Structure formats: C-alpha cells, structure tokens
Structure 1
Amino acid sequence: MCGRFTVLAPREQVEEAFSVVIDEKNYQENYNVAPGQNVLAIIQNAKSKRAGYLRWGLVPSWAKDEKIGYKMINARSESVHEKPSFRNLLIQKRCLIVADSFYEWQKEGTHKQPKRIQLADRNLFAFAGLWDLWEHENKKIFTCTILTKAANAFMQSIHTRMPIILPKDKEAEWIRPEKMAPETAQQFLQSLEDEEMKAYDVSAYVNAAKHNDAQCIAPLVK
C-alpha cells in the first residue's frame, strides 16, 4: 500500500514539471503527507489541465458517510475495473497525485523499519490516482485514492505492494479528457514499466503523522 509520501519541491519546480499554475497561497511543502490531508493533484478537462487539492481518502459520490475515505486511500489496480467504488471513476475521473518520495515500513522480525523511497533518475513524479466529488447536506468534498500494484523486484524485500508511479511520457495519457473504458484503463496501468528506484532508512519519527519537518527524511544513523 501507500500510506505516506512527501512533496518537497518548490512550487515553481512543480509548475514547470507539470505545466500547470498553482495557487501560491495554498502551496506548501510537506515532509509527511498522511491520509485525510489535502494532496496536490492534477486533472484535465476538455479545456485545460488544472492543479488543485483533493482530500486523500476516496469518498465515493454514493457513500452515506465521509468516514469511508479513511478505508479507501488506495485502490488495487489488478481489480479496480471490477469494483463499483472505482469502475466509473476510471472512465473520466483519473488524476495525477504529485510526489517526490514515499515511505514504506519493512518488517524486520517484530520491528518495522521506515524507509524513504525515491526514483533514481528524477525528483518529481506522479502517482496514478482517481478522484470523486461527494455532496451531502450542502457539504462538498473532492477526494482521491492512489492506485497500487504488486511490488516490483526492488520493492519486494520492503513490502508486497507499491504505488503506481507514472512514467513521465504516460502522465498525459492517464489524465486525457476523453473517456476511457474501465478495462482499457486497467490494462494501461498493468502495462506501465517501472523506473529504477532507491531507498534509505529513516527514523521512527516519521511514524507520527503530526511530525512534518526535515527530521522525517533524515537518514537514520545506526
């Protein structure tokens, strides 16, 4: 799964990388993005590509209670096209979720060692995501989920699952405004090639979502 990540790049760098304009008042670097927080996402309609914030944890439009979002921070790409919660979103509610690393916890006996994982050859990247709008009693919430897949060769020793990171040349195709059949979208996700990754140990300080500073990413000194 993917339960924490970072966005540390300056706003101008994100704008250049994704060819978007970001509201300066809302942008802030985050060392420890956690479920329930607002995450920087990019969507595209017929007119333009837009950057904005979605709450992490999908609340489907039909849900009775917004608390369901805490159970839907991730969606399994292998079966996403079969699940009612996600199937319709694959058609035209696909998004990019901006990040520059993510955290995962590697089991070492009874201990779980947090690791920070990055791409080896580029800093900024985008997770493949889905979004939806939930409305209830005059309340509107835009939410999202991150798509995951089975761990690749690099990640297998760390965790059984990993977030789907879109290759740079596949980002536009994922969020193109034209409708995409759910099965086609699922096949697209399964066809993506992985980029080289790197990782290092960080301290258990990152375990607490309230911690959001440079200590989260500091290499662990053993």
Structure 2
Amino acid sequence: MCANFKPLTLKQLQDLKLPDIPFEYPGEVYPGYDLPLLFKSPQGLEWRKVMFGLVPKWAEDKTIASKTYNARNETLSQKPTFNNALMKYKFGVIPVAEFYESKYFDHKPQRWGVRRKDGQAIFIAALYEICKIGDEVVRSATMITMDAIDHPMMKEFHEPGNVKRSVIVIPHERLNEWLSWKSPDIRSFVEGFPEDEFECSHVPKAKIEKITPQLNFFD
C-alpha cells in the first residue's frame, strides 16, 4: 500500500519535457489531498488536479477516499468502486519523486522512501474518476497495486507476513502505451519495477514543534 508520497519536482517535470502544471499542489500527499495526475486527451498529454482516493459516481460524499487510494489490480473489475473507471479506460499516472512505505524493526514501523537512482520521476499507474456530489465536481484517482511477495525490495515493507503489495510502476518508454490503453485487461503492465534502478532509505517524518504559551513566556 502507498498512502504517502512526494509529487514530482519542477526539475523532474522539465527533464521529462512534460507540459507545465497549471495549478499548485502540496509538497507531500496523503489520502484526501490534491495531486497532479497526468493523462492523455485528444489534445495530447494533460494535467488534472485530483484528490488522492477515488470517489465513485455512486458515492454520497468524499469520505470514501480514505479507503480507496489504492486498488488491487487483481480485483478491479469486481469492485463497484473501480469498475466504471476501468471499463471506460480512465488510465493515468501519478508522477512522484519518491513514495513512502513502512518497514518494521522489532515490530515498530519506520518510514522508508523509494526513489529512482537516476533522480527521475516515477510514473505510478492510476485510475481516475469524475463525479458530482451536490453542486461540486469531484475529480479523484487511485494508485493500482500488485502482489510484491517476490519483489526483492518491496517484500521488505509492510507488516511481517505473507501479504506484500507494491504500486505498479509504468516504465517511461511505455507511458504513451499505458495512457492510450483501451482494454480492461492490464496484465501486461503488472510487473515489478527493476530493483537495480531504484533505491530506498529511512526517511523519518519531520517533527513539528508545538508552540505553547510556556515556550513563548520569555520572548
């Protein structure tokens, strides 16, 4: 599962010669946050600001996004939450600088970051949806995941056990193919990323100091 990541940087955007992103987005994303999604329209590659966590057309509110930020590729067609987007081929990518996973030491999780060794952005396979809740148009997306029990790097993350998951990484050379895909059968894209092109390390969350009246007493 991936619930936290850093979107691509301006340098990564420019290095890949992607279109400019016409909106602001946070430097770190969690479920419910806005993020930049790259997809293909008849006019070419385009960006959309979407919420992290897919909101299906039948949803009554956006709270479902806290449970739908990842989607198992094995069950996409069986889940009402994702079926409509899958059958309409709403494929996109969420480009990230690095994504975070939990690695356990003595039963305690540490936040580890996964990134490309060459410093380029990672294209994570995504499904996106557009719906209307009341008068609000809601654009949202989910990251598609795969089994990672045999992946040399990703099998080391998550709680101890035999369930290991990884986001699906779209190789740069297959970006156009993925964004143009017109079939609900995405098995040809379900493969673990090459471990030798990626690296990971411990990335603790930044501590936020609380400001209290006592701390400010001598100012």
- The alignment status of 1:130 with 2:127, answered yes or no, reads yes
Deviations 1:112-136 (A, max 9, x none): 1111111223421211001111202
User: How many Å separate the matches in 2 of 1:4 and 1:94?
Assistant: 20
User: How many Å separate the matches in 2 of 1:166 and 1:202?
Assistant: 24
Q: Does the Cα contact within 8 Å between 1:57 and 1:72 map onto a contact in 2?
A: yes
In structure 2, what is the equivalent of residue 74 of structure 1?
70
User: How many Å separate the matches in 2 of 1:122 and 1:205?
Assistant: 22
In structure 1, what is the equivalent of residue 112 of structure 2?
115
Opposite residue 132 of structure 1, the aligned amino acid is: E
In structure 2, what is the equivalent of residue 181 of structure 1?
183
User: How many Å separate the matches in 1 of 2:165 and 2:111?
Assistant: 15
Relative to the length of structure 2, the TM-score reads 0.82
Kindly report which structure 2 residues correspond to 1:1-222, keeping only aligned pairs within 5 A, or say none: 1-7=1-7, 9-10=9-10, 13-17=12-16, 19-23=18-22, 26-28=23-25, 30=27, 32-90=28-86, 91-151=88-148, 152-159=151-158, 160-176=164-180, 180-182=182-184, 184-185=185-186, 187-190=187-190, 192-196=191-195, 197-205=198-206
Q: Secondary structure at the match of 1:205?
A: coil
Q: Does the Cα contact within 8 Å between 1:35 and 1:70 map onto a contact in 2?
A: yes
Q: 1:200 to 1:72 in 2, by over 3 A?
A: same
Relative to the length of structure 1, the TM-score reads 0.81
Q: 1:17 to 1:50 in 2, by over 3 A?
A: same
Q: Does the Cα contact within 8 Å between 1:113 and 1:204 map onto a contact in 2?
A: no
User: How many Å separate the matches in 2 of 1:101 and 1:166?
Assistant: 14
% identical equivalent positions:
25
Opposite residue 51 of structure 1, the aligned amino acid is: W
Q: Which has the larger helix fraction?
A: 1
Deviations 1:161-220 (A, max 9, x none): 1111111111111111x6x221x22x1332x352232111122437x8xxxxxxxxxxxx
Q: Which has the larger radius of gyration?
A: 2
* 1:71 to partner: Cα distance: 0.8
CA RMSD of aligned residues (A): 2.1
In structure 2, what is the equivalent of residue 217 of structure 1?
none
User: How many Å separate the matches in 2 of 1:77 and 1:55?
Assistant: 20
Q: Secondary structure at the match of 2:81?
A: helix
Q: Secondary structure at the match of 2:16?
A: helix
Q: Secondary structure at the match of 1:170?
A: helix
Q: Secondary structure at the match of 1:68?
A: helix
User: How many Å separate the matches in 2 of 1:8 and 1:181?
Assistant: 28
* 1:8 to partner: Cα distance: 5.2
* 1:7 to partner: Cα distance: 2.4
